[in-house]
Amino acid sequence: MNNACPCHSGKPYTACCQPFHQNKRPSTPTQLMRSRYAAYSLGKIGYILKTEAENSRSQSDKAKYRKELKQYCEMTSFIGLSILEAPTPTETQGFVKFHAVMHQNGRDVSFVENSYFERVNGRWIYVKAMA
Ligand SMILES: [Zn+2]
């Protein structure tokens, strides 16, 4: 299927992550997580930056980070995504544990991460990976 969502949900992109990439707010951390994975796959750097916690990077560091993100997206194949655990979030905090299957230059760079999300002004954002 040509228009399958890059988050590997099995749904069409238009009925899955595209609305979030077009400004709709994800209502759960899982939706945000999936839409961020899809954004990495599509190289939507603006969306990745917009949906993560503000940090104290300087302007020049931000430009560098943006460039690194772009390179990372370009050199990585985003092959699969499984949600392992997604406990019901509170009003302002949530966790999503996932397995991302990815390749770089034929090397397997897959990983499992437990991501921590916060809801700020009604909008879910990615904060950090938990140990
Ligand atoms: Zn999706």
| For the chain, percent of residues with pLDDT exceeding 70 | 98
Distance 60 CA to ligand 1 centre (A): 32
The mean pLDDT of 87-114, rounded to a whole number, is 97
DSSP code, position 25: P
Query: Going by C-beta distance under 8 Å and a sequence separation of 6 or more, which residues neighbour residue 34?
Result: 5, 7, 9, 16, 17, 81, 83
Condensed to tens digits (0 to 9), the pLDDT of residues 11-65 reads 999 999 999 999 999 999 999 999 999 999 999 999 999 999 977 788 889 999 9
The mean pLDDT of 89-108, rounded to a whole number, is 97
Q: Where are the beta strands (DSSP E) in 49-110?
A: 76-85, 93-104, 107-108
Distance 59 CA to ligand 1 centre (A): 31
- Domain range list for the chain: 13-130
Instruction: Name which of 124, 48, 128 is nearest 93 in CA terms.
Output: 124
Q: How much is the pLDDT for 59?
A: 86
Q: Which CATH class, in words, describes the domain spanning 13-130?
A: alpha beta
Distance 9 CA to ligand 1 centre (A): 6
Q: How much is the pLDDT for 78?
A: 98
Distance 38 CA to ligand 1 centre (A): 6
